[in-house]
Amino acid sequence: MAISSDKKLNNFLSSIKKLSQNDKERVVKAIEFSSRAHRGQTRISGSTYFSHALDVAKKISDLNLTTDAIIASLLHDTVEDTPIGLNEIKKEFGSVVARLVDGLTKLDNIRISKSWLPPFKTKYQQLDRYEKQVETLRKMFVAMSRDIRVIIIKMADRMCNLETLYYLPKVKQTRIAQETIDIYAPIANRLGMGEFKCRLEDLSFPYLMPNEYKRVKKLAVQEIETRTKYLKKLRIKILNILAQKGINAEIKYRAKHWYSLYRKLKIHNLDIDKVYDLVALRVMVPTVEDCYNVLGIIHSLWKPLPDTIKDYIALPKINGYQSIHTTVFADHGVITEIQIRTPDMDRQAEFGIAAHWYYSDTKVSRLMTKKQYAWVKELMAWQSKIKSSKDLKQSLKIDMFCDRIFAFTPAGDVIDLPRGATSIDFAYAIHTAVGNQCVGAKINNKIAALSTDIKNGDIVEILKDKKSKPKQDWLKYVKTEQARDSINKIVKTR
Ligand code: MN
């Protein structure tokens, strides 16, 4: 145990070698701080809390995030799980780290309510109701993060949790896997973190749908092997031809991730021969001009399938994704997808701004309307601002939901309200009858005045009395039309 964690520590330390001397000293201080704070705490998996913090920090360091983010990863569970307070963190590591840790602690409260999970006995039986709730949870997740780094650290944290999910009780496994697929993965996707998204999904898939997982694997393993063997030869052939033409290329082949394969197979009635990109070839060449040359060369060798050529270099996806895709009848008539891009475009598609969110979310999920996704467009617009912004520090802040508040009912349902809304708005947002019978409220288990503003993440319990009626003076402190109209209706008839 001690040996393996020493190895882990050394691995991590070598990943921060590139930092300045001052930054390295701060990180080392955080390592000492975190290991002291978590002393004696072990997880169900048998590893220590500190070693978990180290795992998360390693992922963040590999992504080249800021030193503050690396430090916040090391400390991310200290406020939640040890007596250490935010003030101490602020004093030792500064206000940015404290703010990041605070955000990470708060995000722990965003959970899928048990009552939403199958077997469905509640009103969430209807899938569209469920979809609406998780969409609101996604917004809440982004709103409460307030900083892009908080989201990314949380994603890394979740990935580490999934890697040791095996040790948890089954009920927890299911909840965490469901949450990952419905909340974490879509957000990663919209942030263009394609690699994260796929890994999160693939780690959750076997826990959530064990039978489907086995079925997809059984269906695809042999075929993937066959196609990979075939592509190995094709790869060398293309490399040789490009070399003759003086083009310096790198070619990878990559099997489709399990969960996205599962979704594609469902569309094609489990016919694996229709999945042309089960294993795709990815050709990377230094310049955009090279990309078009390669496309020309490939089409002179093999005929493309009609309507499969997509030029996302000339016409990038809304999220900035760039690549050329073509599907050709390659040697022996095997239908093969080939993607052509520069190394820059490749990095961006995996970790950066570009991803397949638009394609996978809008085409696969019929339940989601474009309107519901308006906030995604905002997120993407904000992304492109980051890309062009010199002042990265400023743009790491997320203000897109600054006029909205997300709060929970005691049962875990999430209610979306305008900023400044009170318990009365909350009550009417649940149901008109709940608003009309409202006599008081508990916010986070404490009795609160009905005029109190609700804050992000509050748990609000409405106290009711069937005989009670709305009061005229409520109108002074409601924010929503819905509450105002309902109160007026009753007050006026009196
Ligand atoms: Mn954690």
Residue 373 confidence (pLDDT): 43
CA distance 242 to 234: 12
Residue 120 confidence (pLDDT): 53
d(CA 157, ligand 1 centre) in Å: 5
Structure tokens at 292: 């078009």
Tens digit of pLDDT for each residue in 282-327? 999 999 999 999 999 999 999 999 888 999 988 876 556 789 999 9
d(CA 289, ligand 1 centre) in Å: 45
Tens digit of pLDDT for each residue in 168-195? 999 899 989 999 999 999 888 777 677 8
CA distance 359 to 391: 31
Q: Contact at 8 Å (CB) between 42 and 57?
A: no
Q: Is 80 a catalytic residue?
A: yes
What sections of 38-77 are H helices per DSSP? 49-62, 67-75
Q: Is 102 a catalytic residue?
A: no
Q: How many CA atoms lie within 13 A of 467 on its CB side?
A: 0
d(CA 76, ligand 1 centre) in Å: 6
pTM, 2 dp: 0.76
Residue 355 confidence (pLDDT): 29
d(CA 53, ligand 1 centre) in Å: 7
Structure tokens at 448: 């609160």
CA distance 489 to 491: 6
Set 25, 81, 378, 399: catalytic member: 81
Tens digit of pLDDT for each residue in 266-280? 888 888 888 888 899
First to last CA, the chain: 73
d(CA 105, ligand 1 centre) in Å: 9
What sections of 119-209 are H helices per DSSP? 127-145, 148-163, 170-179, 185-190, 194-208
Element (H, E) at 416: strand 414-418
Set 25, 80, 378, 465: catalytic member: 80
Residue 389 confidence (pLDDT): 45
Distance of CA 166 to the CA centre of its chain: 21
Residue 83 confidence (pLDDT): 83
d(CA 412, ligand 1 centre) in Å: 21
With a cut of 70, which residues of the chain have pLDDT below it? 1-5, 114-128, 192, 317-320, 351-402, 494
d(CA 77, ligand 1 centre) in Å: 6
Residue 123 confidence (pLDDT): 52
Partners of 283 in the β-ladder: 251, 340
| Protein residues within 5 Å, CB atom, of ion ligand 1 | 77, 157
What's the chain's average pLDDT? Answer: 83
Rg of the chain, C-alpha, whole Å:
26
